[in-house]
Amino acid sequence: MRPMYQIARSPLNIQITVEGKPLPIYTRQDGAFFVEALPGKEFIIEVYNSGFSRVEVLASVDGLNTLEKEEANWEKPGMVIPGYQTWKNRGWRLSDKEVSTFKFEEDKSKSVASKVGKTKNTGIIGLALFREKSFFTLDSPFFPNPYAPYSSTGSPLIGGVQINTRGVGGSSGYTKSSSSYHVNESSEEITSRGINISAPDVATGAGEIVKDKIGTTSWQRASVTPDFVIQIQYRTRQTLVEMGLISEEPVAFVNLQDDHATGYANLLK
């Protein structure tokens, strides 16, 4: 099994997969993460909770909430992932039973963002992590969850991925903590430090409709702001080459090409 990139100081392991294979993650000089978008291919956002406790994760693609037709924001509920479980976010949620798969689209007019009329934040995938508020008293003993979460096959699955319908959101006047997220710099600020930037050249559309059942669970957040936020941008290979994130050196024989390189070695430099 190929390694996943682990978010610093959090229990989440994250990878973007295409046809079951994780995409290499490339790191720009300023620490921004990129993956190669493969036009016409469907992709899955896989989030593994390597910790014991449940966590809530909000996912955004192109600045849109993947669970509801709206712009992504932290006050909305996300998905609750039990300890040692994986949430495979396969696409735009249509109902509690189906999703329309994520699909890289070079023709951005075919993207979901274009159809919704919100194209300002295309070319990026985001994940925000919330921890659960912990309270346990003698006069309120723990009882099994009365809700029945479901696996992707539709069979009952205790400890399966569940949608949070009772997440506690913050007010519009919450204070952002600089320790819990990375502040976006302007293009001018990044360029002034000699870092190559590029406008998104691809977006995410809607692929085929597939079965993907979820259930509900009770949940209360420990805080109104996320504990961690990760942003992964995606561009076509040509753009990543132009940005200097991918090197295309000639080889004498195609056999010498390293088809197994994941790109994670860049994170260790």
Give the pLDDT confidence score for residue 263 in this predicted structure.
Answer: 47
Give the pLDDT confidence score for residue 186 in this predicted structure.
Answer: 42
Query: How far is the C-alpha of 77 from the C-alpha of 72, rounded, in Å?
Result: 10
Residues 6+ apart with CB under 8 A from 58: 65, 72, 74, 76, 77, 78, 79, 127, 128, 130, 226
Cβ neighbours around 261 below 10 Å, total: 10
Nearest to 87 by CA among 151, 37, 32: 151
Give the pLDDT confidence score for residue 198 in this predicted structure.
Answer: 76
DSSP code for 118: -
Dihedral, 202, 204, 205, 206 alpha carbons, nearest 10: 160
φ/ψ of 199, rounded to 5, equals -70, 150
Query: How far is the C-alpha of 70 from the C-alpha of 73, rounded, in Å?
Result: 9
Amino acid in position 92 = W
DSSP code for 24: P
DSSP annotation string for 140-192:
B-----SS--B-TTSSB-TT--EEESS--PPPTTPPPPTTSSPPPPPHHHHHT
Residues 6+ apart with CB under 8 A from 69: 116
pLDDT in tens, the chain (269 residues): 333 454 555 778 899 999 999 898 888 888 889 999 999 999 999 999 988 899 999 999 999 999 999 999 988 999 999 999 999 999 999 999 999 999 999 999 999 999 999 999 999 999 999 999 986 543 433 333 333 333 333 323 233 344 444 333 332 222 222 223 333 344 444 444 556 677 899 999 999 999 999 988 899 999 999 998 999 999 999 999 999 988 877 767 766 555 545 444 444 44
Adjacent-strand bridge partners of 45 = 16, 89
Nearest to 166 by CA among 220, 119, 124: 220
Cβ neighbours around 228 below 10 Å, total: 21
